[in-house]
A and B are shown apart, each in its own frame.
Chain A
Amino acid sequence: MRIVKLGISYLVSVAVMTAVTVALGLFLWGIIGGWAGVSALDIVEETNKGVAQQRSLLIVEFVDLQRKTVWVSNPGKVDLILLSCIVYPKGSSPPSRDFMEIARAEASMEVSLGLDSSKCIFPDSLDPSRPYIVEIYAIALTIYNPSNIMENIQWAILVRSDA
């Protein structure tokens, strides 16, 4: 009797409530789906970078102070992009450096890669009796982004060795 008095059928009200619930649910599903998708991409990307970093390995075999050449090799599992190389006296502050692709080191121990003074920054004069430090930044080729220097630095490995 009350329904009749209000003029709204019970079925209509149920339909309206259901429609609203469905609309809100789909909206929420969309929001959550979008967030989940973005998060999944981020997770995959981060994981890839983390894995690539774990696979990156670079060793300094020898620093030829007479010829100003740093000999490196890559015993890791991924090819590397060398971003910077500096040699400076031990105990002093490292000089400023640029981060750009200076060489590529294949993931192979068959050859050793020489970085001469055109690729590596050396002090003007070198005294073989003094100790030196060599620092090299390198990043896995698979995650190297030429347009994002900061990201490259973040995911690069730093090799520091006595010379």
Chain B
Amino acid sequence: MHKSKSAVSAIVGGLIVLAILFTTIIPLVILLQNSYATFLQESNSRRIFDTDRSSESMLVDLIVTTTGLIKNLKLFLTNDGPITINPVRIWIIDANNQAILPCSGSGSSTPYIALTDIVLRPGENKTINEVSNCLMNPAFYNKVVQFLVVSERGRIFSSMRINITSLLNEFVYPYTLTVSIINMKRGRDYTVEVEPLGEGDANPRKFTHKATASNENVTVAVGVTAGRYKVTLLEDGKPPERLSGNPQVIEIPGITAVIFNLDWVKYEPVNLDVIIDAPRKVFVPQGEDEAFDVKIHIQLPKNASETVEIIEINEGMIKLEGNLPNRDITCYTHGTGFTLHPGQRALAVTCTVEVKGTGSPGTKYELKVVVPRGTIVGKGLTSGLEGYVNKDGVSNTIIIQIRK
């Protein structure tokens, strides 16, 4: 009876200790373990992320691609690591100056090329075309550039340092500007100057051509980048007087052709007149031979617009027509290389006609000297045109009369 009553406080104390244990200590221990587990989980997650990050491996190269006649520079990314890589950004840097070369060609306000939805699986490779536009910027000339590719996990992969100048020479001019000079004057020097007004660039910026013939036309192709340009034509070092619209300011790629029409007189070849100086009547003794000369003159019509040089005479083409059976013609030229001014006449060929007195005295025959078209050829001294040829020429009728 005594023992059972004295154990009440001990029982109460024990209950309180148990209550403390279950309501504070054990929950605290559980919380501690949970917190540790949470931290450990996060720590493991970070470790896995870091391991993935360090496992990323990518090769960055600048390559040249050719599609038809168009060549392009592209960035070639190869995932040679064991995990998938998501490239998110490309920096193009000036390796010598440790400065960013902004890609203004991409139209973006950021100084880098943002990549979206590009996934490189292990072993996969992809090309980045946007780089080509950036490199067309003149800011890249004479630079040693390096490409930095940033992955989504925060790794940075770099390319080799590339001296871009030598590489760009072939690709830097994506547009072709054609400059045509129409109706040049022979012997003059024509210079085309293409001057960038701003950031554009052109190659060549200056071109000179010496006209070898009048009214000659020439077209020059100039490699250019996008931008504004002043295109100037100079004739013997100064702007041609009669040419309007010189210089011309153009915007590439809006306008890619410029024409300077000098509007010189257009030369048209004319036919040369043939004048044949032959006797009207020749008496030939019966049964004997007789010879007489025929002189063939060539005349440049008055309406010709330039002086003509006689460059070719085909005397073998000159022939005789008529009913005289025994006849012969022998011609010789007085040389070529002489010139004819408009309206001027010159002796070109002298022919000797030999006839035989066939038939009874009093018999009459008719004979004509014929100079076919193309026997005499001339060349315009100014235009260089070789279309100056003689018309068909026929002499007057020569009467051959037989006498005793």
Q: Which residues of A contact B (CB under 8 A)?
A: 10, 14, 17-18, 20-22, 24-26, 28-29, 32-33, 35-36, 39-40, 43-44, 46-47, 50-51, 54-55, 57, 59, 61-67, 69, 71, 73, 75, 109-112, 128, 163
Contact = CB atoms under 8 A, between A and B. Distances in A.
A79 to B, nearest CB: 15
Contacts of B13: 21, 24-25
A13 to B, nearest CB: 9
* Complex A-B, nearest 8 residue pairs according to Cβ-Cβ distance, in ascending order: A25-B16, A66-B99, A75-B154, A47-B35, A36-B24, A21-B9, A128-B98, A65-B98
Contacts of B156: 59, 61
Interface string B3-38: 001101110110111011001110110011001101
Given A21-B12, A28-B20, A36-B28, 7 more contacts: A21-B10, A25-B19, A25-B20, A29-B19, A29-B20, A111-B110, A128-B97
A23 B168 CA distance: 91
B88 A109 contact: yes
A94 to B, nearest CB: 20
Interface residues of B, number: 47
B31 A28 contact: no
Given A51-B42, A64-B99, A39 B28 contact: yes
B244 interface: no
A54 B39 contact: yes
B99 A67 contact: yes
Contacts of B20: 25, 28-29, 32-33
A18 B38 contact: no
Interface of B: 5-6, 8-10, 12-13, 15-17, 19-20, 23-25, 27-28, 31-32, 35-36, 38-39, 42-43, 45-46, 49, 88-89, 91, 93-94, 96-100, 110, 112, 114, 148, 150, 152-154, 156
B9 A20 contact: yes
A66 B98 CA distance: 7
A10 B4 CA distance: 12
Residue of B15, B96, B156 with most chain A CB atoms under a 10 A cut-off: B156
A109 B112 contact: no
Nearest to B46: A54
Contacts of A21: 9-10, 12-13, 16
17 contacts: A21-B10, A21-B13, A22-B16, A28-B16, A40-B28, A50-B42, A51-B38, A54-B46, A59-B154, A62-B100, A64-B99, A65-B97, A66-B99, A71-B91, A75-B153, A109-B154, A128-B96
A46 to B, nearest CB: 8
Given A36-B24, A54-B43, A111-B110, A62 B91 contact: yes
Nearest to B7: A14
Contacts of B89: 61, 73, 109, 112
A29 B22 CA distance: 11
A35 B23 CA distance: 12
Contacts of B10: 21
A73 B152 CA distance: 10
Given A14-B9, A54-B43, A128-B97, A43 B91 contact: no
A110 B108 CA distance: 14
Contacts of B35: 43-44, 46-47
Contact of A61 (B32, B43, B91): B91
Contacts of A109: 88-89, 150, 152, 154
Contact of B9 (A18, A59, A64, A66): A18
A29 B16 contact: yes
A47 B35 CA distance: 6
B373 to A, nearest CB: 78
Given A66-B98, A111-B110, A112-B112, A61 B28 contact: no
Nearest to A33: B24
Contacts of A55: 42, 46
Contact of B98 (A33, A64, A110, A111): A64
Contact of A57 (B24, B27, B100, B154): B154
A127 B172 CA distance: 30
Contacts of B36: 47
Contacts of A35: 24
B42 A17 contact: no
B112 to A, nearest CB: 6
A24 B150 CA distance: 65
Contacts of A54: 39, 42-43, 45-46
Given A10-B5, A14-B5, A22 B38 contact: no
Nearest to B156: A61
Nearest to B32: A43
Given A14-B5, A66-B98, A112 B110 contact: yes
Given A28-B16, A64-B98, A75 B152 contact: yes
